[in-house]
Structure 1
């Protein structure tokens, strides 16, 4: 049976590259984004791949999201990749906290992935096992923080890592594996022009990590090269 992926933030960057890679590998893919009608690259893929479904999902509007409202395909999910993210204003230093922006970063990067996981639980393939992959960032590592700052994004990813760890414990008896992934410094709109790797390098590495992930590694923080990152 064809395996099934659901991914958020699928219309560009890392998310779009994941979609292309899994479609090429023969997977059924449900690609979620905020504005499906404007997702030209996804729509182009849809004309080629019948097993691609595009779904509207805006993590900035969690109060309006239900499982029924998503209109998901009937098939259960073997893999969920929580990729959608928001950095917020850059260069924020101590004393410049904007609560509205901080809440938005936390809602999209931390609350959203856990909320959507809760919604999707009835759709997870618990019979054959399911993997939940969360795109985190090394800046969420306490041990790696040597420069300070970055309060919004750092805190959102550190909190996301805590969510992943708890899910790995709570869902272990269901046969569900969870992992926090650091994609590297990637050439995307968020990563900027000085980034070190392209999306293809990042995604191919993360796909290998996901494919080889053991239950002993569930709840870990791993980069795209398969190296464990300290919390």
Structure 2
């Protein structure tokens, strides 16, 4: 029975991945991770076992505790979807329907920048670093990181979004280095599209449902992963995104 670990499993894309793998015809052990309580599914599967863990990505001890509990468990796939948008909280509270207003040059501040980096970049690094022993116990381990086109320097033609863009660009650099330093593991960065995921308080124009994004990533990317995909930065259709 393969073990699949999904972060951000309490909502959005992570929850959509959890639903997919729990209803798959293949037997899986699913390790569902989130800082929030992970809801029960309408009908818990009989073929797949779900183990839930509450983990705080801003706490190294919380991440280490998870890794210790998984010691000796081979992880076949790690799907990392936990993250934040990096909006200034006070501005978002007063402008919940205007995402752009919450991340401009005029309002961006150090606490927002630091927290966004702590979760999106540092938290990802510490999580993958801690879980490497379990990944390396699997015969062909894969790590799929939810990236963003907004982390692309080449694609940035609109400016603003300082915390999110910078943390995702740094995340790209971290995962690219993982792909070089740990060639036994396939590391792939995937932009899921603009998804209704709960990262912001409103539904952004053009946002798609999490399930639609997950279906496309599974078909176009995750189902095709092999060594040739390691270190790549792609969209949900598998097309390369410029760095």
Q: TM-score, normalised by structure 1?
A: 0.89
Q: Provide the C-alpha distance between the structure 2 equivalents of 1:68 and 1:196, rounded to a whole number of angstroms.
A: 33
- Structure 1 residue 4: Cα displacement: 1.1
Residues 229 and 112 (structure 1), Cα distance of their counterparts in 2 relative to 1, 3 Å cut? same
Structure 2 gaps, min length 5: 88-98
Structure 1 gaps, min length 5: none
Equivalent position to 2:145, from 134, 145, 156: 134
Q: Provide the C-alpha distance between the structure 1 equivalents of 2:67 and 2:198, rounded to a whole number of angstroms.
A: 29
RMSD, aligned α-carbons: 2.1
Residues 48 and 23 (structure 1), Cα distance of their counterparts in 2 relative to 1, 3 Å cut? closer
Q: Provide the C-alpha distance between the structure 1 equivalents of 2:166 and 2:66, rounded to a whole number of angstroms.
A: 31
Residues 165 and 45 (structure 1), Cα distance of their counterparts in 2 relative to 1, 3 Å cut? farther
Equivalent position to 2:210, from 171, 175, 199: 199
- Structure 1 residue 63: Cα displacement: 4.6
Q: Matched residue of 1:216: which SS?
A: helix
Q: Contact 1:180 / 1:220 at 8 angstroms: preserved in 2? A: yes
- Structure 1 residue 125: Cα displacement: 4.2
- Structure 1 residue 201: Cα displacement: 1.5
- Structure 1 residue 226: Cα displacement: 1.2
The residue number in structure 2 matching 1:153 is 164
Q: TM-score, normalised by structure 2?
A: 0.84
Equivalent position to 2:41, from 41, 44, 50: 44
Equivalent position to 1:76, from 74, 77, 85: 74
The residue number in structure 2 matching 1:122 is 133
Deviates further, 148-157 or 50-59? 50-59
